[in-house]
Amino acid sequence: MKRQLKQLSIGLIAILLIGILGACSNNSGSSNSDTIRIGLAAPISGTQAQYGTAFKNGAELAAAQINEAGGIDGKQVEIVIEDDKGDSNEAVNVANKFVSDKSILGVVGHFNSSATLATAPVYNKNKIVQISPSSSAPAVTNAGEYTYRVITTDAFQADYLATWSQELGYKKVALIYEQSDFGIGLLDVYKQSAPGNNIEVTATEAYNPGEKDFSTVLTKIKTTEPDAIFIGGFYNEAALIAQQAQKLGMDVEFIGVDSLYSEALLELGQQSVEDFKIIGFFYPGGSNEKATEFAEQYQTKYNSKPDTYAAYSYVATSLIIDAIKENGTDREGIKTFLDQVKDYEGATGVLSFDENGDVITVPTKLKVANGEFVNFE
């Protein structure tokens, strides 16, 4: 027993030391007051790392722009990036790290709706603003008064798409959706809105996130002979679906929401994604000058074209920066700014927030022509 006790106590000492060490290191980190610090929580590693990279690039571009212009009242803006791995366990760790660092004024994140929902109680209890660039699940609406998002809900987009489907003359539509909060949200609303638009939903097939083989699903769908397939997922999977459909000799159109807007869709899908019809909020080269300007600067800085998520992250970060400009370095001031902001011109369109922190904005109809996104006429 003695030996066990000794071991136990050594272990406990180790834990204590680590705890105290951590506390000290954390203390010293936050004493620097020459910079304005904004948190960014994103999946930097793990299966969703590509979206994390987009988040990081978008946010850092926003910070770089303000810093080149001399910062806010002479103070430089610093983006503090933390990896949540797209996992709600890790996300809560990150959230706790942010809220306990008093120098962090606001947080951009998280990517997944589940991570946003898991962390919302932490941010709200500590009264720090969280703007999610991408969590579109309806449940985020009621996540708390400090939780905002710059992406519209799945419900809004799916309903909009159902109306558009009718305009396009589709009678039979099949759905392939991701088995995630995002995909299921799209499915539910689209299925609900379809009868009102004279659309028959011929098949609904789910896939688990990370799936790469869609030949089974597509072979099933092929027998139902739809006019179009609505892909309720992300651009990577959409490109794979289009290619595999082509390899199966399917002649069908594809529609989707803003999650498909990415250069990667064109690169991965090549000729198979030609004539894709999607709803977009971020569209450079159109009437939105902010979007065009952002895309150009992004291209110069990273030598690649931004996708939807980079744009959303840029907008979310810019909102926080503008809030600090307006109301000073105060956590509460950011919330005041967001509640009052009206018709904010951002790279993803003109936006305002409703009383639940959900964004109000107008989508654009886009399609793919000659390997590029163009306005749908």
Considering only residues 233 through 252, tell me which ones interact with other proteins, judged by CB under 8 A.
Answer: 236, 239-240, 243-244, 246-249
Q: Judge contact between 181 and 206, C-beta under 8 A.
A: no
362 contributes a contact to other proteins by CB under 8 A: no
Using CB under 8 A as the binding criterion, the count of chain residues that bind other proteins stands at 89
Nearer CB in complex with other proteins: 174/351:
174
**Binders in 248-287 for other proteins, by CB under 8 A:** 248-249, 264, 267-268, 270
Print the binding letters for residues 46-85 with other proteins: x by CB under 8 A, - otherwise.
Answer: xx-xx-xx---------------------------xxx--
Helix (H) or strand (E) holding 351: strand 349-353
117 contributes a contact to other proteins by CB under 8 A: yes
Question: Please, what sign has the CA dihedral across residues 360, 365, 366, 367?
Answer: positive
**Binders in 181-240 for other proteins, by CB under 8 A:** 181, 184, 205-208, 210, 212-213, 215-217, 219-220, 222-223, 236, 239-240
93 contributes a contact to other proteins by CB under 8 A: yes
Select from 44, 151, 174, 260 the one that contacts other proteins (CB under 8 A). 44
Nearer CB in complex with other proteins: 137/255:
137
Question: Please, what sign has the CA dihedral across residues 214, 282, 156, 181?
Answer: positive
Output the six-digit token pair for 337.
Answer: 């700014």
130 contributes a contact to other proteins by CB under 8 A: no
Residue (of 301, 297, 304, 302) closest to 347 by Cα position: 297
Q: How far is the CB of 22 from other proteins (least distance, A)?
A: 4
Q: How far is the CB of 63 from other proteins (least distance, A)?
A: 15
Identify which range of 119-127, 191-199, 281-289, 347-355 contacts other proteins by CB under 8 A. 119-127
**3-class secondary structure for 53-107?**
HHHHHHHHHHHHHHHHCCCECCEEEEEEEEECCCCHHHHHHHHHHHHHCCCEEEE
**Binders in 141-180 for other proteins, by CB under 8 A:** 143, 179-180
**Binders in 296-325 for other proteins, by CB under 8 A:** none
Q: How far is the CB of 361 from other proteins (least distance, A)?
A: 24
Select from 64, 92, 168, 341 the one that contacts other proteins (CB under 8 A). 92
Q: Judge contact between 356 and 141, C-beta under 8 A.
A: yes
CA-to-CA dists, residue 271 to 197, 254, 274, angstroms: 30, 13, 5
Residue (of 150, 153, 149, 171) closest to 162 by Cα position: 171
Nearer CB in complex with other proteins: 33/340:
33
Output the six-digit token pair for 162.
Answer: 């159902």
**How far apart are alpha carbons 67 and 59 in whole angstroms?**
12
Q: How far is the CB of 237 from other proteins (least distance, A)?
A: 10
**How far apart are alpha carbons 178 and 17 in whole angstroms?**
45
